[in-house]
A = this chain, B = another copy of it.
Amino acid sequence: MVDRHPNLRAQRRAETQRAIQAHAVRLFTERGYDATTVADVAEAAGVAPMTVYRHFPTKEDLVLVDQNGPLLAERLRAAPADQPLVRRIGGALVDATAVLTGGGDPGAAAADGRFLLDRLRLMIATPALRARHLDNQYALQEAVIGALGDDAADPETAFRARAAAGACLAVLHTALVRWAEDDGRADLPALVADALAAAFGDAAAPLDRSARRQGPRRFTG
């Protein structure tokens, strides 16, 4: 339903949106986020300042990512329900990051990976963006609760699920930061698995799943 009209109009709209975000990330990286105004971004993209707000609700959304909710929910529903909470959620996180970093073809992954890394670095270094990102992850926590499929009516069950989900997502964030510091060279799913093991112990880290099995897989496709 997104491509209801793969017309010339929709193509141009998508292209301007891509251009605006690309110039925004470039300018933010070059001059800094706070030192770059929305008017600067608009001028660089060749549009009016208002057009920026038609495509992105706020200046922060020019950088933020966080469209991984559905992917994570799918992996959560696929996980066996008889394991501990942190193991179910942690395994889904490892799987989801594996899809994200190894999903596309190597060429597209290289270009998109650079773009994603630039945005990730901005999100980590800029206080306003970091705060928004952490809040988005906090919202993702509720999506995790819903995807777990456990009894959400019982407040005690929901409380325990929230605690486990929040802890797992914080661990994910730690792994993301380290991945960005390493310029995306490290294997993100392995980093997530290591961070999960550091927080919850090796018993809860799904090392037997898809964490370690793709060390050199990235360039074999």
A101 to chain B, nearest CB (A): 18
Decide: A163 and B199 in contact? CB cutoff 8 A: yes
* Complex Cα–Cα for A204 and B85 (A): 15
Decide: A195 and B159 in contact? CB cutoff 8 A: yes
- Nearest B residue to A164 via CB reads B199
Interface residues of A in 159-179 (CB under 8 A from B): 159-164, 166-171, 173-175, 177-178
- Nearest B residue to A134 via CB reads B134
User: Given A131-B131, A169-B170, A198–B164 Cβ distance below 8 Å?
Assistant: yes
| Most chain B C-beta atoms within 10 Å of own C-beta, residue among A162, A178, A195 | A162
Q: Which residues of B contact A200 (CB under 8 A)?
A: 86, 167, 199-201
* Complex Cα–Cα for A174 and B85 (A): 15
Decide: B164 and A173 in contact? CB cutoff 8 A: no
Decide: A163 and B131 in contact? CB cutoff 8 A: no
Decide: B194 and A175 in contact? CB cutoff 8 A: no
Interface residues as binary, A178-208 with B (CB distance below 8 Å gives 1, 0 otherwise): 1000000000000000111011110010000
A61 to chain B, nearest CB (A): 13
Decide: A174 and B178 in contact? CB cutoff 8 A: no
CB-contact partner of A132 in B131, B175, B198, under 8 A: B131
User: Given A84-B201, A170-B170, A195–B163 Cβ distance below 8 Å?
Assistant: yes
Q: Which residues of B contact A198 (CB under 8 A)?
A: 85, 159-161, 163-164
* Complex Cα–Cα for A84 and B178 (A): 22
Interface residues as binary, A101-136 with B (CB distance below 8 Å gives 1, 0 otherwise): 000000000000000000000000001001110110
8 closest Cβ contacts across the A-B interface? A160-B198, A166-B170, A131-B135, A167-B167, A170-B170, A163-B195, A131-B131, A134-B134
